[in-house]
Amino acid sequence: MRLDNKVAIVTGAAMGIGAGIAERFMEAGAAVVVFDINAERANQMAQHLSRSGRALAIHGDVSREADVQNAVARTIQEFGALDVLVNNAGIEVVGQVVDVTSADWDRQLGVNLKGVFLFCKYAIPHLRGRSGAIVNISSVHAFVSYAGNAAYDASKAGMNGLTRALALDHGHEGIRVNAICPGYINTPMMDEWLAAQPDAEATLKQVLSFHPLGRIGTPRDIAEAALFLASDAASFISGANLVVDGAMSVAGH
């Protein structure tokens, strides 16, 4: 699984799953654009990657159209092409519908769903004719709901629907579009969630018990899946949802 001479944009790539994907893509030979709302961390990540290859940090918000247009334009200006788009940037708004504000709802769908729409809208014209690949980082929340996650669940279910539509609309252009649905992954977002629990240690123990494989996932686990779907090894796979959750969902959790 190689991405030699390929150019990839990874959103939310300054930390967590996005950083893991950016590093793995760099190892596989790609030039990587680190797009993130945190400019300082994006720059640090790009500097880290630049020790091994070509990398560029771009600061922006995936839900702002001008920021997305700028990111794609700068990628083409810097590298002359675009081959892979990974829509990874995401946030999680916790709460039941009756408790979530309209602003929270708009922000949740703005980042997790509108951001995917915008990046695909401006990236697809450059992916045409290059056997382009789009990998959307969704969640098991797209089809397995948990109490108090209404907005997040809706955003991820919408992402999976958009993935299917994109695969249908752009397959004739040689563009493959797939989604990865992670379960619990050891990221800063999970750390924040655990810290908000009444008993973080007990919660983590319970979460571990959900997994037949006996552990939670790592960013590297998702990065390997993303590399597979972005590479020629998956040349006949499009419109698929790849679940990467250590068998948690099939165990009924």
Q: Are 174 and 232 in contact (CB under 8 A)?
A: no
* 152 flagged as catalytic: yes
Q: Which of the residues 122, 146, 152, 184 is marked catalytic?
A: 152
Cα distance between residue 226 and residue 87, in whole Å: 11
Token look-up 């092409």 returns: 81
State the sign of the Cα–Cα–Cα–Cα dihedral 166, 171, 173, 178.
Answer: positive
Q: Are 145 and 216 in contact (CB under 8 A)?
A: no
With 0-12 / 13-18 / 19 or more C-beta atoms within 10 angstroms meaning exposed / middle / buried, residue 74 is middle
Beta strands 84-87 and 133-137, pairing class:
parallel
The set of catalytic residues is 152
